[in-house]
Amino acid sequence: MCRNQKGASYIGFLIAIVGFAFLAKVAIAVWAPYWDDRVIDSQITELLQSSPTNISPSKFSSQMGQRLDMNNVRDIKFDDIAQVTNTDGIQVNKSYEVRKPFLLNIDLVLKFEKSFDQRSVQTK
């Protein structure tokens, strides 16, 4: 017959709580930039579908800036993260990185890259 009950100790619970807190901090730090990138991708796709093929790159950029402001993506400027060209339709090359302070002097660096072509977006 067992005299002592066996199970998780206080140290085990403490390690589990610290591990959960660490994972929660990572999720909170990474969630906002990924959500903003998803919003940016969807707005670029929607504007490419609704725009005529002869729209100027500057007009496209200004409309994207307005769309990002309406969707509360205010810390990223479209002209800083994307290059828009108009050769056989609008092409958008998005490339940027976001640095988030994480713990003491450790930063999380998130890099986002994607290319959009108006012809391929409109055929979907």
Q: What is the DSSP string of 65-108?
A: HHHHHHTT--SS-HHHHEEEEESSSEEEEEEEEEEEEEETTEEE
- Token pair for residue 120? 């391929």
- Position 61 scores a pLDDT of 93
- pLDDT computed for residue 83 by the predictor: 94
Tokens of 11: 């140290």
- Rounded mean pLDDT for each run of 10 residues along the chain, 124 residues in total: 72 93 92 94 92 88 93 90 88 94 90 91 76
Nearest to 83 by CA among 96, 70, 99: 96
Element (H, E) at 55: none
CB 103 within 8 A of CB 91: no
User: Tell me, what's the pLDDT at 93?
Assistant: 95
